[in-house]
Amino acid sequence: MQEYQSYKLNRITEADQKDLITVIVACYNIETYIRRCVDSITAQTYKNLEILITDDGSTDSSGAICDELASKDPRIKVYHTDNHGLGLARDYAMDRASGTYITFVDGDDYIEPRMYEEMMAAMKAFDTDIVVAGYKNIFESDSIVSKAYKVPKVKKVDWAADYNDSALDTGNGVSIEQDDYYSTDLAFMNSEDLLRALVEEDEKYVVQNCAWNKLYKRSFVEEGDKLRFPEGHYEDIVYTTKLLSKISSGVVICDKLYNYITDRSGSIMNQGVKWDILTQQIPAYKARNKVLVDAGYPELAYIHQYMVYKKLLLLYTQVRRSKDPEKKAKMDALADVIRGVKDNYAKVYSCRIANPHQELRMKLFLKNTMLYNSFMAVNDTFIIPVKVWISNKL
């Protein structure tokens, strides 16, 4: 991995925007958000876009809003399908894409006006296969966001007026006055570097499972066995891992160019510890592990397992603290999955990033679940409050 600070990416004039980017938006019952999302795409400083929207069987006015937006911009195409879920909605549009590059935006999110120009500039500067951008968590409950967007009828935002090309916000509180370049911290990585940043959840170079902060050559998902999203939730986990294992190199830029709505009511990511974590997320993690092994990265596979078991212990604790009516059944089911670590215990907990405290917790859990629960109850009731009190006094 090669890191660069304040790297200057040359801006791309409209005359030089030769490569077509396909932007895919899946839309399902998000009438309050979809206009903002599409407006943020059509206002991009990179103009050579093909915007494909799959209305995935919406029962509200989302489909009609998409049709209205398409009537005003010839770059937009809308497909109306039965409801099959996010992954298959994306696949439907992917099968109809014609861009040299491909990217995704979730219909309830929105993007910064310079996002694709800056990402294409990085793509060209390093002659690479994929560019990954940073993102901001936007809270729907935040008063500013709520006043601007959380209304029954969202007014169209004049993005072009709000963001002029001569003074663009980098997403980090710094404005760019120059017209000829963007400046950002970034890292040039090979495939293994990208997979490592993904698996280890690097906090500076945020790769993430998500499809929406990445721009890449469409040829990588079309050549050979076509890469498509699986049906169901957590579809990004396997898709992204397979994608990164296929590419040669990529650039991760630190500018936060994507705005991710974190706490939208009704979002599948905002519904607590649900059964589909067991029925869909954990199988997806197992499938990812196989992808890593098959790609020749057994060390990363063990690191991935370590991260998964760390999360499962946290989920177990979260359920234990909850008032979920299915609490005992979920705790038992999670416990059964967690005990599966025994076969690979030594290798998983001797991986490069393993924390000795996590190993002790796992040992305690595997030795006696009731004792583990008692320990965590004491931790919640006494140890954490004392730590918080001491921290506040310092």
Among positive and negative, which fits the CA dihedral 56, 116, 257, 168? negative
235 shares its domain with 285: no
156 shares its domain with 14: yes
- Is residue 27 within 8 A of residue 62, CB to CB? The reply is yes
253 shares its domain with 285: no
307 shares its domain with 363: yes
Among positive and negative, which fits the CA dihedral 27, 31, 37, 43? positive
Domain count, the chain: 2
- Is residue 312 within 8 A of residue 334, CB to CB? The reply is yes
Q: Which residues constitute the domain of residue 246?
A: 2-270
What does the pLDDT profile of the chain (394 residues) look like in tens digits? Answer: 999 999 999 999 999 999 999 999 999 999 999 999 999 999 999 999 999 999 999 999 999 999 999 999 999 999 999 999 999 999 999 999 999 999 999 999 999 999 999 999 999 999 999 999 999 999 876 534 433 433 333 333 343 344 344 344 444 444 444 468 999 999 999 999 999 999 999 999 999 999 999 999 999 999 878 999 988 778 899 999 999 999 999 999 999 999 999 865 544 444 457 888 888 889 999 999 999 999 999 999 999 999 999 999 989 988 988 888 999 999 999 999 888 777 778 889 999 999 998 899 898 998 888 888 888 877 766 666 666 666 666 6
Of the residues 218, 238, 270, the one at which a domain ends: 270
262 shares its domain with 287: no
Q: At what angle do helices 356-367 and 327-338 cross, to 10 degrees?
A: 110
Instruction: Report the CATH number at residue 47.
Output: 3.90.550.10
109 shares its domain with 15: yes
183 shares its domain with 332: no
202 shares its domain with 227: yes
The one-letter code for the residue type at 73 is D
33 shares its domain with 85: yes
326 shares its domain with 223: no
CB-based contacts of 267, cutoff 8 Å, min separation 6: 108, 261
State pTM to two decimals.
0.84
- Is residue 102 within 8 A of residue 221, CB to CB? The reply is yes
